[in-house]
Structure 1
Amino acid sequence: MASIHPFKGSVLSSTLCELGEGASFEAETNTLWWCNILGKEIYSLELSSGTQSAFSLPVMASVVARIDSGRQLIASDKGLFIRNRATGELTPHGEIEPGRDGNRSNDGRMHASGSLWIGTMGRTAADGAGAIYHVARGVVTKLFDTVSIPNSICFSPDAATAYFVDTRANKMMTVAVDPATGLPSGKPTLFIDGSADAGGIDGSICDADGHIWNARWGEAALDHYSADGSFIQRYQLPAKRTTCPAFIDNGRIAVTSAWEGLDEASRTADPMAGATFVLDVGAKAKYDPAYLP
């Protein structure tokens, strides 16, 4: 039976995001970035100094990725943008789903090729309204259609395997990809069947050994799976709606969370919903690469 570990981490940020998501670590600046999708904000936490900053946006961002010291890629409900770090100015970089105003972006992750995989979903999570796309130098290619809640996009250490899930179905899929481009080179197959388990398979990352770490929505947990999909252990967290993990310095894992959909009584019972936490799980870190515009 898999081990269950009580929470022995700490609160990395006590800012309560309605929908904290899109956690990514920028090793070059020792900074964790994450999004408050519904609040139209992105946050940064410089780990050396402990300085947290908040940046308001005119869009619902779900991914913020490094380009270089002066620029970032933003994926949002209004498409793709290049963000000027110094001024905050957003320059359009491409549309994801032109004319589909009823959708927004959701989970996404950078591939070692410098491309982005980004998922979309209906603003009210309508069945099959979303899809998963590949973005390379502004060129957007649809990969998988009729997705309700795209999540768990991550890649193996050799960049030859991708993972993703429709959280509504709770079946994590795996597919071979070209390490040079990040484009699929095969058909998706079932990797983890969580359809009979409580909670939702939300955001995931791969570590340097090819293991998968998944934030389990509704279960206040970070779950650890082996490279063959076997469930190894669960780390408990102090907020039920855990959303997205990211490796930070020294191989620790940061995990965002959300209070979206909770009424007043539920928020009172779950006072840390929306905070960002950190755990030391002893895994070998694999950091997100930069986007090549």
Structure 2
Amino acid sequence: MTIITANTHKLPAPPCHLGEGPSYDVSTDTAFWFDITGKTLWEHRFETGEIISHDLPVMASVLARVDDDRQLMAAEDGIYLRMRSTGALSLLTPMEADNPGNRSNDGRVHPSGKLWIGTMGKNAEWQAGTIYIFDGQDLKPIVRKVTIPNSICFSPDGRTGYYSDTAINTVWRIPLDPQTGMPIGEPEIFLQEPSLPLGGHYDGSVVDANGVLWNAAWGGGSVSGFAPDGSLVGTYELQAAQTSCPCFVGKKLDKMLVTSAWQGYSDAQRAADPGAGFTYMIDGGFKGLADSSFKLLQEARA
């Protein structure tokens, strides 16, 4: 087992019930993440140290940059444009709005500018979720019958996509058209349960500039890196058992922000895991990639 020693610390933000969906806007040196069930978007401005909370009218889980003024936000009932200055939301398209038992979960923008976004049952009902691709106009299903969709991320060249179903502790990879982000072949298993060095389940992931997939292990209190051939690069241990999702941050993209959660804990379990729900920073000297911005197809057609 390769446990990597690095400086880690908590950000001075309150703990999240279900911390998820971290992203980083390199142009403004700002990180964002959600407390999904708490209906809150958190913002951390690294230059000033400010941490700001934004109340939301819905459960939301994914945020992506569109331009200097707008962001894309995936939520339980649809995909929205968010005005960064005011927080105002405008619906781009409904997403399973006729199924109030489902909500959005993990997602990420492909290098082509298209969004991959997963849905799931609010109580993790068996195979109730779907993974979609969204281009600003059309929302197309690409993977059906997923229970807890996670680990949505892409190789640096956009030719490989990854996704997991945390419920069955498996990560798949699938060949993609790098120009469109659409699958052009069948998925194959990339990682399964024995690969996690500290146990737990595959939750959120992000890929670095070398093609290493860094996965947060729900129940494993760690983030582990896996090379494109599936071999373990190393593991960072964190002081929260339910680590949920990583993203690269910092002007050099050499640090990692990791969300966590205390969802599902009894009072005794929460007392035994006092770091649960906090958001962590790992100064690991990573070779990260910037999050891709979302490209609105409808504007391209105009």
* TM-score bin, normalised by smaller chain: over 0.9
Alignment match, 1:184: 183
Alpha-carbon distance between aligned partners in 2 of 1:211 and 1:196, rounded to the nearest angstrom: 14
Q: Is the 8 A contact 2:13 2:51 kept in 1?
A: no
Alpha-carbon distance between aligned partners in 1 of 2:167 and 2:277, rounded to the nearest angstrom: 21
Cα offset, 1:179, TM superposition: 0.8
Alignment match, 2:9: 10
Matched to 1:265, the amino acid is A
Q: What's the RMSD between the two structures over aligned residues?
A: 1.3
Alignment match, 1:289: 292
Whether 1:225 aligns to 2:243 is: no
Local SS of the residue matching 1:268: helix
Local SS of the residue matching 2:264: coil
Alpha-carbon distance between aligned partners in 1 of 2:59 and 2:31, rounded to the nearest angstrom: 19
Alignment match, 1:164: 163
Q: TM-score normalised to the size of structure 2?
A: 0.94
Matched to 1:287, the amino acid is A
> How does 1:172-251 map onto structure 2 within 5 Å?
172-194=171-193, 198-249=199-250, 250=252, 251=254
Q: Which moved more, 1:146-155 or 1:259-268?
A: 259-268
Q: TM-score normalised to the size of structure 1?
A: 0.97
Cα offset, 1:282, TM superposition: 2.2
Whether 1:259 aligns to 2:258 is: no
Local SS of the residue matching 2:99: coil
Alpha-carbon distance between aligned partners in 1 of 2:265 and 2:4, rounded to the nearest angstrom: 26
Cα offset, 1:195, TM superposition: 6.0
User: Structure 1, residues 134-177: CA drift from partner, whole Å, max 9, x if none?
Assistant: 01113100001000000000000001100000001111100011
Matched to 2:111, the amino acid is A
> How does 1:1-293 map onto structure 2 within 5 Å?
2-5=1-4, 8-194=7-193, 198-249=199-250, 250=252, 251-293=254-296
Residues 112, 275 of structure 1: alpha-carbon distance in 2 compared, 3 angstrom cutoff: same
Cα offset, 1:17, TM superposition: 0.5
Q: Is the 8 A contact 1:80 1:96 kept in 2?
A: yes
Cα offset, 1:7, TM superposition: 6.1
Alpha-carbon distance between aligned partners in 1 of 2:155 and 2:219, rounded to the nearest angstrom: 26
Q: Is the 8 A contact 1:171 1:195 kept in 2?
A: no
Alpha-carbon distance between aligned partners in 1 of 2:274 and 2:6, rounded to the nearest angstrom: 15
Q: Is the 8 A contact 2:18 2:263 kept in 1?
A: yes
Report percent identity of matched pairs: 42
Q: Is the 8 A contact 2:120 2:146 kept in 1?
A: yes
Cα offset, 1:98, TM superposition: 3.7
